[in-house]
Structure 1
Amino acid sequence: MAGAYHQGSRAVQDRVGVRELADHVGRSITPGIRDVAAAFLAQQPFLVVGAADEAGRMWASHLTGPPGFMRAQGAHRLVVDGGLPAGDPLAGALAADGTAVGTIALDPRTRRRMRLNGTLTPATVAGGFTVDAEQVFANCPKYLQKRQPLEVEPEGPGVLRRGEQLTDGQARTVRGADTFFIATTAEDGVDASHRGGNPGFVQVRSATELAWADYPGNSMFLTLGNLTADPRAGLLFPHWESGGLLQLSGRARVEFGPDGARTTVFTIASVVESLPAGRLRWSTPEYSPANPPANPPAGGPAAAPPGSAAAPHLGSTTR
């Protein structure tokens, strides 16, 4: 099983004492897209992609389209039609040949998810790309909230604001979030993963620092292992009801408690908030029964939709 994990993941597995279990679970990681995985991909209306931008900063981004906009081509290639909205921080990286990417397709309707990591090749059609698969695997439904798709918003102002720290409205969005995605990297490539819990599971310690507890999972420790090897990370907080996106780039560290508890602390370097055209809106959630209790968000409504009065712009113009 040495090929499934790098030294960062091994270090965390050994520290927590789950190497044997990790080896067992790691057998599910394959370089090929099985038929059941191909069928799953073809049914999904959105895909999260993680990568580094031209400056080396990690980001997680979000692509949407009608089912079939992404699909398997043979056993080792993912094809994605269309591209990222204008102004997305990964637009350049997804147009560059050889970009290492991590992807996660998640179905809120059924609480199913799968990850596919590999190397990107831009398609001949503008905005499309393919990913040559290197790691493909499914995850359990823990901490996934159930939602139903509502409608696609064809129009949108795009990027609302950019900054280097959270506004008050953005902080409220994070405190009220029940889901976010995280992109990390190491010497063997990029990975995109999911974190979920009841609102309040992500703590806003300041305008530039977040923290969250690491809930029990599959014992692979791919995300924490990557952060042990390379602290760069990108977070994506979707505002499901409006379709808005809050993207953060920065660095993260893992703090270990004496009882084996783990907390990830994320320091923000860049913020992008947007309401893109073609965004998909979803229903309010049915929370996962696996979610541990969390401190409810304080200070008003659970989450402020991007661009709302509760999330004022950084200034009078977008920058």
Structure 2
Amino acid sequence: MLNETRQDAASPWHAGELAMQRSVGVVERMDGPGRNFIRKAMPEQHRAFFPMLPFVVLGAVDAQGDAWATIRAGRPGFLSSPEPEALDVDLRRDPDDPADAGMEDGDAIALLGIQLETRRRNRLNGVIRRVDAEAFRLRVGQSFGNCPQYIQPRSAAFVRDPDAVTATRPIRSARLDDRTQRMVERADTFFVASYVDRDGERQVDVSHRGGDAGFVRVSAEGVLTIPDFPGNRFFNTLGNLLVNPKAGLVFVDFEAGDLLQMTGKAEVLLDSPEISALQRAERLWRFTPEEIVLRLDALPLRWSSLHRDV
């Protein structure tokens, strides 16, 4: 299923994305959008968008090849674009964040700018250029926008200086406990990092997943089952997971500022009797955590829900 044909080799999509598109019969239809919307530089509206944000979602890969997703906050302006091919990220290193291990000079990384109150989101991936521990420059590999589907609108406010580090230490485990399982099962939003090695270069992605509260189910063994709803047919995440099953998830307690990060293995299910039991789901994927990090009060932001429409 993942063998590339000569025609595929010239495609803007990699083998996993093409396999997902074939599964729903849209390979030819998605070729044009891939060439038109996935750029090697940011358009002006994206360059103006990122400096407005008080937080950013990042996807990184550590030295062991494990994927991690994280959220980092800063006063608006901590993201800036000096040129269309670059984004400057003014964030200090954070040893408590497991994703930070994948943010060395030369590392491939992904970035999602998302404005929850307006439901706007734009994605980037590329390579870090770092000269110190205070900031880095992202050299753009791919830049593209996303539609507002499944984003729960929220407004954010700072409760402390974003440079002030919480004194609470991370809690590490191999399995979900009652507290972290409740955090997953009550969530209406999470973010997922994934990656592939393509043509000698690493391509990382981080994306948003949303639904009604409780849309992620947890089995007695601690395995997460996630429905995949109709979307833009890019299949960046699921395409990556077909090629490389490593994934990193981050869940947010928007009222407390807590982060639940986990890395592990994912499996895409294109055909399962469970799919029909989940309203709107077109397919499923499962995630088995291998390492879990709970960081209480990790974020200096607190969010208030605006409404609950998906």
Which category describes the TM-score, using the shorter chain as reference length? 0.7 to 0.9
CA distance in 1, matches of 2:187, 2:222: 17
Query: In structure 1, what is the equivalent of residue 128 of structure 2?
Result: 120
Sort the Cα spacing of 1:119 and 1:147 in 2 relative to 1 into closer, same or farther, 3 A: same
Select between 46-55 and 169-178 the one with higher mean Cα deviation.
46-55
- How far 1:239 sits from its partner (Å)? 1.1
Paired residues, number? 287
- After the TM superposition, which residues 171-186 of structure 1 pair with which residues of structure 2 at under 5 Å, given as runs? 171-186=181-196
Aligned twin of 1:251: 265
Contact 1:25–1:218 (Cα < 8 Å) also in 2: no
- After TM superposition, the runs of 4+ consecutive aligned structure 1 residues lying more than 4 A away are none
What is the identity, as a one-letter code, of the residue corresponding to 2:290? A
CA distance in structure 1 between the aligned counterparts of 2:157 and 2:50, rounded to whole angstroms: 20
Cα distance change on mapping 1:23 and 1:152 into 2, 3 Å: farther
For structure 2, the 5+ residue unaligned runs are: 1-7
Identity %: 38
Q: Judge which range, 254-263 or 50-59, deviates more.
A: 254-263
The answer as to 2:31 corresponding to 1:8 is no
- Look up the equivalent residue of 1:17 and give its one-letter code: G
Corresponding residue SS for 1:213: strand
Post-superposition offset of 1:36:
0.5
1:149 counterpart residue number: 156
1:163 is aligned to 173
Which residue of 1 is the match for residue 5 of structure 2? none
State the one-letter code of the partner of 1:83.
R
Flag structure 1 segments of 5+ consecutive residues without an equivalent. 292-319
Q: Does 1:107 align with 2:115?
A: yes
TM-score between the two structures when normalised by the length of structure 1? 0.85
Counterparts of 1:69 and 1:123 in 2: how far apart (Å)?
A: 17
Structure 1 residue 160: Cα displacement: 3.5
2:252 matched to 1:238? yes
Match of 2:301 in 1: 280
Q: C-alpha distance in 2, partners of 1:182/1:72?
A: 24
Match of 1:267 in 2: 288
Match of 1:19, as an amino acid?
V
TM-score, scaled to structure 2: 0.88
| 223, 227, 231: which one aligns with 1:217 | 231
Change (3 A) 1:33 1:273: same
Say whether the 8 Å CA contact 1:181–1:192 is kept in structure 2: yes
Indicate how the Cα distance of structure 1 residues 250 and 121 shifts in structure 2: closer, same or farther if over 3 A, else same: same
Q: Which amino acid aligns with 2:110?
A: G
Q: CA deviation at 1:84?
A: 4.7
**Structure 1 residues 225 and 200 mapped into 2: Cα distance closer, same or farther (>3 Å)?**
same
User: 1:245 is paired with a residue of what secondary structure?
Assistant: strand
Q: CA deviation at 1:58?
A: 0.7
Amino acid aligned to 1:203 = R
Q: Is contact 1:167-1:207 (8 Å) kept?
A: no
SS at match of 1:187: strand
TM-fit CA distance, 1:123: 3.4
> Contact 2:72/2:299 (CA < 8 Å) preserved in 1?
no
